[in-house]
Amino acid sequence: MRVLVVDDHALFRRAIVGLLSGMPDMEVVGEAEDGEEAVATARKLHPDVVLMDIRMRNCNGIEATRRIKQEMPQVKVLALTVSEEMSDLVQIIRNGAEGYLLKSTTPEECVAALRQVMQGETALSPRVAARIFHEFAQDARRQSDFPRDSNLSPRELEILQLVAEGVSNKEISTHLSLSGSTVSNHLHNLLGKLHARNRVQAALFAESRGLLSSSS
C-alpha cells in the first residue's frame, strides 16, 4: 500500500511516517504540508491512499480531497484530524473521503483504518460515526440528493443493508454464501444505481429511505 501523508504539523507528520514505515505492507511515498501540495504530490505519485489532515493553510483538506477525487477517483482518502465539527465531517465525506479518524485514535487503530480503506471498507472513529450518519440522513431527507427510485434488486438491497450495518465485504460473502468477486460486483452496481461515491453514502441512502428498519 502506497501512502501519502498530509499534515501541516511537521512533528506529527513525521511521527505518522515513522509509524507507517514500520509496517511491512505499507510504503510512505510522499509527504505534504498543505492542500495545494497534497494535490500536486498526488498527481505526481498516484498513491493508493492519502492520509489527509483538514485544517491547513493555502488549501484545506476538504478542498484537496474534492480535487484529488475528481481527478483521481481511484485514490482513497482517509481524513485524520482533530476536528469534530459536523461541517467538516459532512463536507469531506460528501467530497468522496472513504473514512474519518480523530487524531486521538491509537496508532493501531490508524493502521487498521488504512488497511480497511484500502480493501474498500469504510473507516470511522466510533465517537463520530453516529453523528455523521445522523447528519447525512437529515441532509438527504431535506435535499433529496439520492434518486427516489433506486431499482435495486433484492440481492442488492440485502447487501446494502449489511453495508449500512458496517459489515465488511468478506463478512458479506460468508453471510450470503457468495464469492468475494460477486459481492464486489453487486456493490459496484448498487453504488452506480444510487449515484453514491462510496459505502458511506450508500449506507446513508439506506437510512434516509428507511431501508434498514424495513429490511430487518
CA distances from 180 to 25, 71, 173 (A): 21, 28, 6
Return the higher-pLDDT residue of 209 and 113.
Answer: 113
Tell me the pTM: 0.65
pLDDT above 70 as % of the chain = 84
Res. 207: pLDDT tops 70: no
pLDDT band at residue 213 using 50, 70 and 90 as cut-offs: very low
Res. 171: pLDDT tops 70: yes
Residue-level length of the chain: 216
Return the higher-pLDDT residue of 44 and 160.
Answer: 44
Distance, in Å, from the CA atom of 166 to the CA atom of 211, rounded to the nearest integer, reads 15
Distance, in Å, from the CA atom of 169 to the CA atom of 56, rounded to the nearest integer, reads 34
Question: Where in 37-156 does DSSP place strands (E)?
Answer: 49-52, 76-81, 99-102, 123-124
Please tell me the predicted confidence (pLDDT) of residue 57. 84
Distance, in Å, from the CA atom of 142 to the CA atom of 87, rounded to the nearest integer, reads 16
Element (H, E) at 30: strand 27-32
Res. 113: pLDDT tops 50: yes
Return the higher-pLDDT residue of 31 and 192.
Answer: 31
User: Of 9-18, 130-139, 184-193, which range is least confident?
Assistant: 130-139
User: Of 5-9, 16-20, 108-112, 201-205, which range is least confident?
Assistant: 201-205
pLDDT tens, position by position, 51-107 = 999 999 889 999 999 999 999 999 999 999 998 887 788 789 889 999 999 998 899
